[in-house]
Amino acid sequence: LMILSVVVLRRTIKEPTHVEGVGDSSSGSIGILEALASVVRQREKSAMRMLLAIFFWFIAWNGIEAFFTLYGREVWNVSEATGALYMGFFSVTLVAFAIPSGFIATAVGRARIIRIGLTVLSICLVGLGLLAHDSLGRPIVEAINGVLGLGCDAAGQARLLGAMLANIGIIVPALMGLAGLSWALINTNSYPMVVDMAVRAQTGAYTGLYYLFSSLAAITGPPVFGLLRDALGTRALFPFSVVCVIVALVFMAGVRKGDPTRTGLSDAK
């Protein structure tokens, strides 16, 4: 398949012999290390904030992706096959909303739609993290249970928590599906934002920066959560991911470039 893909690309993609901007000393092509140094030195920090946001939201999701079935077995008492099925709801909605999310972002702005996606994703992760007898957020569930006046069952467990745990087979797929939708809003629009922060001759270098930060997150996320799991147990998975998503949201709040609906492609840098 890879060989076939290369052949198709070679025969169907006609690249220009001259790239606009190359040869201009002020905006010529640069390597990835030069691009990173340039991003760090820029007075306007949108590109740096965007890359850091990408790093943190990929850390959040890569940790979940690596340990989700283990979490399902140890915390929700479901089989690995069931855990994989739950993860499938995420994948289905991600694919279904990938193209629509691009059109939505064109209408309302990429940065705004990514912030909405991060907010929805954090809510989904909080909900998933509360679905456990010994979750770190159990005091929150008990407080809500008290406000609603639901009381406790014969075993002393908050009735709200009992109802949530009894309906894991409904709640988890619903939250995972919503998380997939939010991930489509985030991931579909992040790469175009990074590229639109570069002049045309430097799109390759900025593409490299995008994959550098996302790959670093893929390398960093699982080991970091592994250390947390050793210290706090598997229940730390979703709180850890929520914190990372919130950090990404904070960085995204400072991004002011890379959105053609606001600045136009010609002056995105």
Instruction: Delimit the domains of the chain by residue range.
Output: 34-254
Q: What pLDDT shows up at residue 90?
A: 95
Which residue in 193, 198, 188, 204 sits closest to 258, CA to CA?
Answer: 193
> How far apart (Å, rounded) are the C-alpha atoms in residues 213 and 131?
31
137: how many CB neighbours lie within 10 A of its CB? 18
> How far apart (Å, rounded) are the C-alpha atoms in residues 9 and 3?
10
Instruction: Tell me which residues of the chain have a pLDDT lower than 70.
Output: 16-30, 260-269
What CATH architecture does domain 34-254 belong to? Up-down Bundle (1.20)
Contact yes or no for 134/239 (Cβ under 8 A)? no
The phi-psi region of residue 30 (left if phi > 0; otherwise alpha if psi is between -120 and 50; otherwise beta) is beta
Contact yes or no for 113/188 (Cβ under 8 A)? no
Please name every residue paired with 254 in a beta bridge, in sequence order, or none if there are none.
Answer: none
Per this entry, what is the length of the chain? 269
Q: What pLDDT shows up at residue 257?
A: 81
> How far apart (Å, rounded) are the C-alpha atoms in residues 63 and 238?
9
In terms of DSSP H, where are the helices of the chain? 2-12, 32-41, 46-74, 80-108, 110-129, 138-148, 159-166, 168-195, 203-232, 237-252
Contact yes or no for 179/241 (Cβ under 8 A)? no
> How far apart (Å, rounded) are the C-alpha atoms in residues 35 and 108?
29
Q: What is the pTM of this model?
A: 0.83
Q: What is the pLDDT of residues 223-232, one digit of tens each?
A: 888 888 888 8
In this structure, the dihedral spanned by the alpha carbons of residues 53, 54, 55 and 56, taken in order and rounded to 10 degrees, is 50
- Which residue has tokens 């991600």? 94
Q: What pLDDT shows up at residue 215?
A: 93
Structure tokens at 222: 């699982």
